[in-house]
């Protein structure tokens, strides 16, 4: 199967890194197989809603952490929105993108520290 990383796999990889969990450890916590975790991380397969619920419980994160991209990419008819509603929508999307970048920067900084300690 063709591998493609998606929003879910990026989010899953990020939270696993933050919690210092291996695929095997997460599989045990979420009641699934390590192979399934690998498929999700590599974008080979998408998890069911039930699996996402189990993962969010195992990782102690809100289920919306994995679902926000789905919710934010729905096409919305904003033609009837007033200017404040449009600004709120833009701010919400901006804040979400900023949070993702902030987490990615933290991961990179942590990796740099690890590499510096090995030198």
Give domain 1-63's CATH number out of 1.10.3720.10, 1.10.260.40, 3.40.50.720, 1.10.1240.10: 1.10.260.40
Per residue in 52-68, pLDDT (tens digit) is 889 999 999 888 788 76
Give domain limits for the chain: 1-63, 75-119
Q: Is the pTM of this model over 0.85?
A: no
Residue 5: predicted pLDDT? 62
The backbone torsions φ and ψ at residue 115, rounded to the nearest 5 degrees and listed phi first, read -65, -40
Please tell me the least confidently modeled range out of 3-7, 64-68, 79-83: 3-7
Residue 105 has pLDDT above 80, yes or no: no
Of 3, 44, 12, 18, which Cα lies nearest the Cα of 30?
Answer: 12
The pLDDT mean for the chain works out to 78
* DSSP H helices in the chain: 7-18, 23-30, 34-41, 49-59, 64-72, 83-118
Residue 22 has pLDDT above 90, yes or no: yes
């Amino acid at each position: 199967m063709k591998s493609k990383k998606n929003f879910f796999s990026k989010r899953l990889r990020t939270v696993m890194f933050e919690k210092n969990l291996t695929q095997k450890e997460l599989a045990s916590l979420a009641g699934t197989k390590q192979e399934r975790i690998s498929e999700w991380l590599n974008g080979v397969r998408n998890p069911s809603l039930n699996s996402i619920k189990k993962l969010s419980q195992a990782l102690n994160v809100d289920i919306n952490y994995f679902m926000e991209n789905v919710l934010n990419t729905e096409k919305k008819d904003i033609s009837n929105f007033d200017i404040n509603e449009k600004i709120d929508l833009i701010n919400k999307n901006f804040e979400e993108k900023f949070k993702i970048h902030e987490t990615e920067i933290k991961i990179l900084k942590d990796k740099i520290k690890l590499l510096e300690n090995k030198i």
